[in-house]
Amino acid sequence: MIALFLAMQIAGAPAARPAPTFIVVRDGQTTTSVPVTINDGEAFVRADVLMKAMKGMLITGTNLHFTLALPRARLDLIDGIPFAKFDTLTVPLTRAPQVRGGQLYVPFQFVSELIPRYGGGYFYDVAQGELRTATPTAVSSTPARTTTAAPPPVNRGPTSTTTSAPPAAPVRTRAAPRPSPKVVVIDAGHGGPDRGMVGPIGSPTWFTEKDVTLSVAKKLATVLHARGFDVLMTRDTDTLIALSDRGRIANSNHGDVFISIHCNAPGSNNAKGARERGFETYFLAEAKTEDERRVQDMENESVKFETGANAPKGDPLNFIITDMAQNEHLRESSDLAQTIQQGLIDVHPGPNRGVQQANFAVLRGSYMPAVLIEIGFGSNLSEATYLSDQANQRALARNIAESVIAYLAHYDSRIGGAR
């Protein structure tokens, strides 16, 4: 699909001029020459050199993501993906950016066409091979008509022919509007026919993940409501919500953070697996370890319960757009996960398994800081007993809530309270 789309874009475009051997970047009186290199017959420009010339910065993210931070725009790219993201707009490239020798190279078209169009005030002069700041719009030479307000009459005493103005009415000022409450989206894992994991190992099954996650989620919502936050639950009954719909629910309700609650299970139902214990918090990124991939596959398996309109379509273009949008919140999600994980240490009896990362389907579509918490192993007899206790669930919910509140307060302090 992507190849066909790009072929149509290229076929419909007029023949391009040969790329110059270098680009002159002009910013006011400053000019810098940026070399243009040829690779497999295609022209590319080294991104870090270009950003330096444009007084910008190249930010290297995870999973081969890159951000070109210009003074008035941010442009996102992924190595090997022929698309660029400008704010919420995703634009096709004639060639994919490439990482060679540890350096990112962008196609010449990105510099000559896309930066002038979306980069915030740049113009590319084809004849001169020059990328420069756009000339500001000329101000009209016709002077604006001005009027001078007459001064108010002055009370000069009884001999004056003027009379004093009536006393001014008291000025009433309206208090600044209160910032709207933050919206915390709470996602109780699984539900309906999707029971999640069951346990414990080595005894008759009595622990069901979907019931425990819903119970903890409701208690977490109660704490946050009491602290003045708006709370949205993706489910508050025993029902099935498609993994892809959970993020859409959060986005459409303008959530500030997304918290998905789950229970863990080992990769095998033997005695060794029954001994696995502890808690861990995940954010969305490529799984790096075997255990992260195991948990990722276990939680993503819920998609098998989805049918018809709820089933993901597997559109590769949609995946790229979603991936770019989520990457914007990667660092914030990592910070949120670390704050929650640290907060659980004081209340959870199991070992601290740390902050992890994996490609969870439930987190992919939520365009906000988002985490998935594995609150313990329902497969372990002692932890299943702990997690099933109402008082322990309240303690977990309280500490998760306090961590979310602390994270949001820290976030607001960094951005000045703006939402």
HSE on the CB side for 308, CA within 13 Å?
2
Are 107 and 95 in contact, with CB atoms under 8 Å apart? Answer: yes
Average pLDDT over residues 120-147: 61
Cα distance between residue 283 and residue 338, in whole Å: 9
Q: Which two tokens stand for residue 329?
A: 């919140």
Work out the angle between the directed axes of helices 390-415 and 330-344 (0-180°, nearest 10): 140
Cα distance between residue 393 and residue 387, in whole Å: 6
Cα distance between residue 215 and residue 380, in whole Å: 19
Single-letter residue type at 228: G
Are 16 and 110 in contact, with CB atoms under 8 Å apart? Answer: no
Q: Give the neighbor-by-neighbor strand order of the sheet with 352-358.
A: 230-233, 183-188, 257-264, 370-377, 279-284, 352-358
* CATH number at 2-133: 3.30.457.10
Tokens 């996650």 found at: 213
Q: Which residues pair with 264 in a beta bridge?
A: 377
* Among 55-59, 101-105, 240-244, 384-388, the range of highest mean pLDDT: 384-388
Cα distance between residue 75 and residue 126, in whole Å: 22
Q: Coil, strand, or helix at residue 309?
A: helix
Cα distance between residue 313 and residue 369, in whole Å: 24
Cα distance between residue 78 and residue 81, in whole Å: 5
Q: Cα separations (Å) of 73 from 91, 112, 328, 351, 419?
A: 15, 16, 14, 44, 19
Angle ∠(222,362,2) on CA atoms, nearest 5: 150
Least confident of 16-20, 259-263, 289-293: 16-20
Contacts of 97 (CB under 8 A, 6+ apart): 47, 66, 77, 78, 79, 80, 81, 104, 105, 106, 107, 110
Cα distance between residue 269 and residue 286, in whole Å: 26
User: In this predicted model, what pLDDT tens digit does every residue of 199-255 receive, in sequence order?
Assistant: 999 999 999 999 999 999 999 999 999 999 999 999 999 999 999 899 889 988 999
Average pLDDT over residues 411-417: 68
With cut-offs at 50, 70 and 90, classify the pLDDT of residue 82: confident
Cα distance between residue 235 and residue 214, in whole Å: 8
Q: Which two tokens stand for residue 61?
A: 């993210």
Query: Does domain 183-415 correspond to CATH entry 3.40.630.40?
Result: yes
DSSP 8-state secondary structure symbol assigned to residue 303: G
Q: What pLDDT is stored for residue 377 in this prediction?
A: 98
Q: What pLDDT is stored for residue 56 in this prediction?
A: 87
Are 321 and 347 in contact, with CB atoms under 8 Å apart? Answer: no
For all residues of the chain together, what is the average pLDDT? 81
Domain with CATH 3.40.630.40 in the chain: 183-415
User: In this predicted model, what pLDDT tens digit does every residue of 6-52 receive, in sequence order?
Assistant: 444 444 444 445 678 888 898 777 889 999 998 888 899 999 999 99
The pTM (predicted TM-score) of the whole model is: 0.60
What's the chain's length in residues? 419
With cut-offs at 50, 70 and 90, classify the pLDDT of residue 123: confident
Q: Which two tokens stand for residue 8?
A: 């149509």
Single-letter residue type at 212: V
pLDDT at residue 416 greater than cutoff 90? no
Domain with CATH 3.30.457.10 in the chain: 2-133
Query: Nearest to residue 222, comparing CAs of 401, 371, 370?
Result: 401
Tokens 């306090």 found at: 402
Cα distance between residue 66 and residue 73, in whole Å: 14
Cα distance between residue 67 and residue 324, in whole Å: 10
First to last CA, the chain: 37
Cα distance between residue 162 and residue 230, in whole Å: 60
Q: What pLDDT is stored for residue 307 in this prediction?
A: 53
Are 284 and 260 in contact, with CB atoms under 8 Å apart? Answer: no
Q: Which two tokens stand for residue 279?
A: 């808690």
